[in-house]
Amino acid sequence: MLKIYEWEWKQFPWQWAVEIKPEYRARLTRELGQKFGLGWIEVSERKRSGGHASVGTFNSHIALPWRGGKCPLGLIIHELAHVYDAKKNHGTGHRASFKTALIKLQVEVRGYRMLPPIFAGIRKDRADARANMDKALARADAKATRLIEAKKAAGAPEAVLARVQARAKKLRTRIKRLQTALKKAERQAARLERRAALSSAPAVV
């Protein structure tokens, strides 16, 4: 076990006693990073225990245990201190500049001054998401009910009779049009026959 952790546990016992739930870890880390002036921080899941921080040219990354792994507030602040030290002091590892950054961040978070607004925001967003989901489910349920009722209505005897009557009406209209066209064609044929008969009759002198 690194001596720095033993020192942290003794100096900041309450931070290491506060367990952060999995659903809060990523957002809490990012928002604390914003408050510490560290910019946007990518947060990912780490299968092993403990955490890990890395700082690149354009972004920073912190890996934390999520599923089944414990993640105290002190661990999050410890990894943020690595990012702070790298950005502000170009430091790496657990050197003196890291310890200075760690003390600064631990003291700023002490007393939950920063935490209540963050947790309140998380809870509000989760409540809004649940409310939106409930509304979406209600709309989907209402739509499904309408479709079911429409399908039932479409299969009712009255609806079937109405569809048959509508098809019969279309057929009758089509038959009338065909009969009219047939009569017209018969009249034209009769006229042509008369003309042909007249043209073939012998001339009378």
First to last CA, the chain: 139
CB-based contact 118:27 (threshold 8 Å): yes
- Run means of pLDDT, 10 residues per run, the chain, 205 residues: 79 84 85 85 81 79 81 89 88 86 84 65 74 79 79 76 82 86 81 68 51
The model's pTM is: 0.57
- Looking at domain 3-113, its CATH class is alpha beta
CB burial readout 1-11, b (16+ within 10 A) else e? eeeeeeebeee
Helix H segments across the chain?
3-11, 13-17, 22-35, 73-89, 96-109, 115-154, 157-200
CA-to-CA dists, residue 175 to 14, 180, 181, angstroms: 91, 9, 10
Task: Map out the domains of the chain as residue ranges.
Answer: 3-113, 161-186
Q: Which of 67, 62, 81, 65 is nearest to 12 (CA)?
A: 81
- Enclosing H/E stretch for 54: strand 52-55
Q: What tokens appear for 51 in the block?
A: 């955490």
| pLDDT reported for residue 80 | 92
